[in-house]
Amino acid sequence: MAESMPSRAPRRTDKTPPAPAIQVAEKPVNVLVVGVGGQGVIMVSKVLATLCQRQGYQVKQSEVHGMAKRGGSVFSHVRFGETVYSPTIPLGEADVLVALEWAEGLRWLSYLKPETGIFIADTQQIVPPFACRNRQHGAGSGYARETVADVIAQVANCYAINAGQIAQELGNSKAGNTMLLGMMSTTLDFPADDWREAIRMFAPPKAIDINMQAFERGRDWVETHDPADLDPNQGGDQPAPIVEVMHEAEFELPVINRAWCKRCDICVKFCPERCLSLDEEQIAVLHAPEKCTLCRICERLCPDFAIDLKYKH
């Protein structure tokens, strides 16, 4: 497909120029933007769509932001070319995959063209609640285990950087998406000033400066980067950050008053961690104290005042 596109982007080894910019041909160019609700997936696709329209191409864009409440999976298909019929990108047909979050990028990897696809990813991790089933201190999460090294082996071109962190150093972690736009701007053959103009249209007035800086950082990074310098250990399943949970420090484990317990089973049924059970005398016992998160639900729902979590102070 797309004869004018390079059959296989040369893997950069030394200080060779970055992967040649994609040329728009009869077949439309497909860009898939994915991320987590609140990161700016829609903003990136709007910038791109507006830019392409201004360059005189027909653009079709379709998105799913049903989970746009912060934390849900969001994606946006942008297709542009002389004539575009379908608004969605088929499996294995995306020329560029822009992932604002690492696991979301992995989720959509199969949409990338196997030979020529360009994968631009932010390696920052937003661990979804379902991957946090173990709520203990320092416990590993069920987050994707694939590292940057694994992805490099699978895609033709991989640009992976912790853009969220760099944007935070610039002053606003939300500008991470503009940094990825900067990286993407080197892969599409449009003048850099047109990109800046399009970003100005969509960035909030207060944040234009920071977005411009992030855009330049993204461009510079691609100009100077060497695939061998990619940190192969980025991404992957890192242990959840240790957060000081308030009541873990302030309450003691539940103590059950055996004389008052009436074996009603409410605490056992409503314990979210299932660490309570009935013993041979049918009285509630804390059989798995290590699982207890001190949520105090058993204390509040015990009709017999038989469970107490002592406040330490």
Partner 1 sequence: MSEADKQFNIHDYLREYLFPHFLCPGCGHGIALRALLWAIDELDIDKDRLAFVSGIGCSGRLGAYIDANTFHVTHGRPLAFATGLKLARPDLEVIVITGDGDCLAIGGNHLIHACRRNLNITCMMLNNEVYGMTGGQVSPTTSDDRFTTTTPYGNHEPVFDACALAEAAGAGLVGREITLQTPSLKDVLKQGLAHPGFSFIEVMSDCTEVFGRKNDLGSSAEMVLTQKASVRPDFLENAVDQPFRPHQIKTGILASNDRPEYAESYRNHIDAMKRDHGHA
Please identify which residue in 90, 206, 259, 290 interacts with partner 1, judged by CB under 8 A.
259
Structure tokens of 46? 């709007």
Minimum Å gap between C-beta 273 and partner 1 is 16
Residue 216 or 304 having the CB closest to partner 1: 304
Backbone angle region of 217, left / alpha / beta, with phi > 0 → left and psi within -120 to 50 → alpha: alpha
Residue 131 or 264 having the CB closest to partner 1: 264
Please identify which residue in 189, 231, 252, 265 interacts with partner 1, judged by CB under 8 A.
265
Minimum Å gap between C-beta 258 and partner 1 is 10
Distance in angstroms (rounded) separating the CA atoms of residues 179 and 142 = 28
Minimum Å gap between C-beta 281 and partner 1 is 14
Minimum Å gap between C-beta 276 and partner 1 is 12
Binding mask 266-295 for partner 1 (x = CB under 8 A): x--xx-------------------------
Minimum Å gap between C-beta 271 and partner 1 is 11
β-strand partners of 172: none
Distance in angstroms (rounded) separating the CA atoms of residues 145 and 238 = 8
Q: Which stretch binds partner 1 (CB under 8 A): 6-14, 116-124, 151-159, 254-262?
A: 254-262
Closest C-alpha to 96, from 5, 163, 174: 5
- Per CB under 8 A, which of residues 191..250 are in contact with partner 1? 246-247, 250
Please identify which residue in 262, 272, 279, 288 interacts with partner 1, judged by CB under 8 A.
262
* Cα first-last separation, the chain: 70
Distance in angstroms (rounded) separating the CA atoms of residues 122 and 99 = 6
Structure tokens of 231? 């940190």
Residue 212 or 295 having the CB closest to partner 1: 295
- Per CB under 8 A, which of residues 55..94 are in contact with partner 1? none
Q: Which stretch binds partner 1 (CB under 8 A): 135-143, 172-180, 209-217, 263-271?
A: 263-271
Q: Which stretch binds partner 1 (CB under 8 A): 51-59, 63-71, 110-118, 303-311?
A: 303-311
Please identify which residue in 11, 137, 145, 300 interacts with partner 1, judged by CB under 8 A.
300
Q: What's the half-sphere exposure (Cβ side, CA atoms, 13 Å) at 124? A: 21
Binding site for partner 1 (CB under 8 A): 246-247, 250-251, 259-260, 262-266, 269-270, 300-306, 308, 311, 313
